[in-house]
A = this chain, B = another copy of it.
């Protein structure tokens, strides 16, 4: 097949299956034979299309992960509407909804957060790209949105720490599902996720005081 006809079926299948496997098991634990087997193609296809296993991994971040992150940010922005300035409550609600329900399927969301969690635990070139091109700009936007509502003596750095803490929670409940379901002792189903969103919004806005007795606050 010629390039013109763009039969990328094989290449696409490899990207799809490899992403699933890397998310599930991590880079080192996945071998090319199981990728090509899952993608129903020959062993040599990975090196033929991507040059190396390492580069396939990076390509997944370049072509798949980044696109999805962009989708998430677009979804977040459009779900905020055009009313500006937005209250912190609205922003947090939109964030929690976007990253726990939102445009991604359950499997996609899980994959997305598994991959980024692995990168954060053990950074490769991919992390630098993600931080520079996606995370930093997004945090900048969020900072600008939140800043008008913040107390004067809150520094930019403190604001960023607040944003990171929200993401830390979202990340945790997405990538540590096994631990969460085992500790909470209930399945990670749609009903639980609804409770989770409610919790994350409440905790991000008010912390423990959001659950405390009125007279103690």
How far is the CB of A94 from the nearest CB of chain B, in Å?
13
Contacts of A29 in B (CB 8 A): 28, 122
Question: Is residue A44 within 8 Å, beta carbon to beta carbon, of the partner chain?
Answer: no
Within 8 A of B (CB), among A184-209: 184, 186, 195-196, 199-200, 202-209
Contact A161 B199 (CB under 8 A): yes
A195, B154: Cα distance in complex, Å? 12
Given A149-B216, A183-B139, A172 and B175 touching (CB < 8 A)? no
Q: Is A120 an interface residue (CB 8 A)?
A: yes
* A82 in contact (CB, < 8 A): no
Closest to A216 in B: B149
Give chain B residues whose Cβ lies under 8 Å from the Cβ of A214.
Answer: 151
- Residues of B within 8 Å of A139, CB to CB, are 183
8 extra interchain contacts, Cβ-Cβ under 8 A, other than A165-B172, A207-B210? A88-B212, A117-B121, A121-B121, A121-B176, A131-B182, A162-B203, A168-B171, A207-B207
Q: Measured between C-beta atoms, what is the minimum distance from A110 to chain B in Å?
A: 11
Number of copies: 2
CB of A204 within 8 A of CB of B196, answer no
Collect the chain B residues with CB atoms within 8 Å of residue A176's CB. Answer: 120-121, 168
**Interface residue? A45 (CB, 8 A):** no
Chain B proximity of A80: nearest CB distance (Å):
16
**A128 interface residue, CB < 8 Å from B?**
yes
Identify the A interface with B (CB < 8 A).
25-26, 28-29, 87-88, 92, 114, 117-123, 127-128, 131, 135-136, 139, 146, 149-152, 154, 157-162, 164-165, 167-169, 171-173, 175-176, 178-180, 182-184, 186, 195-196, 199-200, 202-214, 216
Residue on B with the closest CB to A160?
B184
CA A128 to CA B179, docked complex, whole Å: 8
Nearest chain-B residue to A206 (Cβ)?
B207
